[in-house]
């Protein structure tokens, strides 16, 4: 089943232009499921990077607009989109020229997969 | 700053036969939406416009018509901004 989920995620990654990696982790950045192209920045796949979203989303939730659900970070060569599905976090790494709207739309496409993974993460 | 855009979207949305309007920027982010159009479609609409433009490189961006049993969607990109107009069948 894990292999099937990984294949599913891989298909999703390959079907969207310029996506370099998709990682499903817990809130501490520990990977649950990961798919990445060779061109994906290695530092961006590490728990030390992914876990910073946890702090950022907590702070963003204090701005008086409710819970932070998604975050887009655009860098020079890459862009990173985080989805808050606590206790899980989904991180999508793509090229900076990728269509950000399509990356955001991946959230709904991953919903069935995330529903299956919810039981994996201890609350 | 966005008032002229909002006004333009309102005018289009109130036109005869139009059931929805969506405006997306070059990154596929939604600039405005009216009626039955969904902001979740902005990425797809922008990506479609970009792809179709590759059919004839060097030409003006084409107008795309998507037709289903009960509605039509017209998509056109100009200067990086993509507009999608959803129309109902009785006035197609």
Is residue A110 within 8 A of residue A118, CB to CB? The reply is no
CB spacing of B43 vs A102 below 8 angstroms: yes
- Tell me which chain B residue has its CA closest to the CA of residue A79: B27
Dump pLDDT digits (tens) for B18-60: 999 999 999 999 999 999 999 999 999 999 999 999 999 989 9
CATH number of the domain where residue A33 is located? 3.30.450.30
Q: How many CB pairs under 8 A join A and B?
A: 35
User: Which domains, and CATH codes, for chain B?
Assistant: 2-91 (3.30.450.30)
Write down the ipTM of this complex.
0.85
Q: Which residues of B touch A17 (CB under 8 A)?
A: 47
How much is the pLDDT for A37? 92
For residue B62, pLDDT beyond 50: yes
Residue A33: HSE in the Cβ half-sphere, 13 Å Cα cutoff: 25
CB spacing of A99 vs B47 below 8 angstroms: yes
Whole-angstrom Cα distance, residue B41 to residue B32? 11
Dump pLDDT digits (tens) for A60-110: 999 999 999 999 999 999 999 999 998 899 999 999 999 999 999 999 999
Distance from CA of B43 to the nearest CA of A (A): 4
How much is the pLDDT for A123? 54
Counting the structural domains of chain A, the total is 1
Q: What is the DSSP string of A73-109?
A: EE-SSEEEEEEEETTEEEEEEEETTS-HHHHHHHHHH
Q: What percent of chain B has pLDDT over 70?
A: 96
pTM: 0.88
For residue B92, pLDDT beyond 50: no
Residue-range definition of the domain harbouring residue A56: 2-122
């Amino acid at each position: 089943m894990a292999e099937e989920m990984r294949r599913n995620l891989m298909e999703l990654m390959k079907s969207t232009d310029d996506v370099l990696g998709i990682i499903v982790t817990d809130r501490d950045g520990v990977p649950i499921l990961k798919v990445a192209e060779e061109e994906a920045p290695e530092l961006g796949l590490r728990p030390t990077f992914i876990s910073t979203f946890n702090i950022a989303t907590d702070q963003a939730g204090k701005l008086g607009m409710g819970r932070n659900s998604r975050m887009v970070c655009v860098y020079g060569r890459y862009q990173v989109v985080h989805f808050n599905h606590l206790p899980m976090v989904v991180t999508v790494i793509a090229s900076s020229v990728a269509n950000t709207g399509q990356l955001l739309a991946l959230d709904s496409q991953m919903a069935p997969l995330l529903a299956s993974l919810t039981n994996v993460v201890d609350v | 700053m966005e008032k002229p855009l909002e006004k333009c979207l309102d005018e289009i949305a109130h036109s005869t036969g139009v059931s929805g309007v969506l405006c997306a920027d070059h990154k596929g982010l939604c600039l405005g939406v009216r009626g039955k159009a969904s902001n979740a479609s902005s990425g797809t609409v922008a990506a479609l416009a970009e792809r179709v433009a590759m059919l004839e490189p060097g030409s003006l961006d084409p107008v795309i018509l998507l037709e289903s049993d009960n509605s039509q969607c017209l998509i056109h990109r100009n200067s990086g901004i993509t507009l999608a107009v959803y129309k109902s069948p009785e006035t197609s």
